[in-house]
Amino acid sequence: MEGYVNEFINYLAVERGLAPNTLESYGRDLRQYQTFLQSGQLDFIKDSNRNTIVNYLSNLQSKGRAVSTISRNLAAIKSFYQYLVRERYLEKDPAAHLESPKLEKKLPKILSIAEVEELLKQPNAFLPAGLRDKAMLELLYATGIRVSELISLNISDVNLDMGYIKCFGKGSKERIVPLGSIAARCVHEYMQRGRQKLVRTYEEPSLFVNHHGNRLTRQGFWKIIKKYAMEASINKDITPHTLRHSFATHLLENGADLRSVQEMLGHADISTTQIYTHVTKNHLKEVYDKSHPRA
């Protein structure tokens, strides 16, 4: 099975242009499925049937895996078997009529405008790393791009004169995102006074680099935002996506239309963006309950 999995992952990378994190997730889930089959001495082609897959999903459930994890595993298995049938390695798709478990839609956690402002105040703009961190946080809140898109930015992707950045989202889809004046100024200051003190070579294309002078990683950014959230006394569970969620919610609260927000976030389907309308409705209810004398 290992060879077929590698071939499938290569297909997703070359033909579908999926991001490295997505490819890693597919590979991990399929190899976990492979381990399950091997433990039961099952052949993934000869013994591939609906019951085998259902037993695997039940096994994940018995281990206390979240519904979202089980759903993701099934999606990987279904895509894999579809590929095997299309390439004629299999005659029949054993996962064809399996449905994903219903996911409970969790509302994204956001920061208030006051909390965002407090977070953005924390980096020390007198230090190169502080200039970098300030630029990153301002850029994330100004554009709503994903953290993976932020750390993938190269200097050539930023146009400060015109006020936009070019980034590559899921499936390597390119999009142009407008950049606010404050974020543009912070990125300019970082590039002028901070970046050259962090890079080791002028040939480095990455916009944001770590103390080794290499491209900053997702894990590196995670540590940075956690540190500043603690310093800002924000007690919420902050994730790398928190500023993205806050960006979208604050735009909608202030009158932006859903289609524009969808475009800026790079969502292929507007139903993904609609989750933020539920957040704004919750916020309005909270404001009403606090403010109306007869609420």
**Which of 139-148, 169-178, 185-194 tops mean pLDDT?**
185-194
Measured distance CA(281)–CA(274) in Å, rounded: 11
* Structural domains of the chain ordered from first start: 2-86 (1.10.150.130), 113-290 (1.10.443.10)
Residue of 50 and 191 predicted with greater confidence:
191
Measured distance CA(280)–CA(39) in Å, rounded: 48
- Model confidence, pTM: 0.62
Question: How does strand 158-159 pair with strand 174-178?
Answer: unpaired
pLDDT of residue 159: 92
Measured distance CA(26)–CA(15) in Å, rounded: 15
Looking at the chain, the whole-number percentage of residues with pLDDT higher than 90 is 30
Nearest to 150 by CA among 103, 217, 195, 83: 217
Residue of 1 and 285 predicted with greater confidence:
1
Here the tokens at position 4 are 């077929």
At residue 181, φ and ψ (nearest 5 deg) are -65, -40
- For 73, the enclosing helix (H) or strand (E) is helix 67-86
pLDDT at 104 over 60: no
Looking at the chain, the whole-number percentage of residues with pLDDT higher than 70 is 86
Measured distance CA(230)–CA(163) in Å, rounded: 31
- Which residues does residue 232 pair with via DSSP β-bridges, in sequence order? none
What's the whole-number average pLDDT of the chain? 84
pLDDT at 20 over 90: no
Residue of 60 and 261 predicted with greater confidence:
60
Reported as a single tens digit per residue, the pLDDT across 195-230 is 999 998 888 999 999 999 999 998 999 999 999 999
Residues identified as active-site: 146, 170, 241, 244, 267, 276
pLDDT of residue 145: 87
179 touches 143 (CB < 8 A): yes
pLDDT at 30 over 50: yes
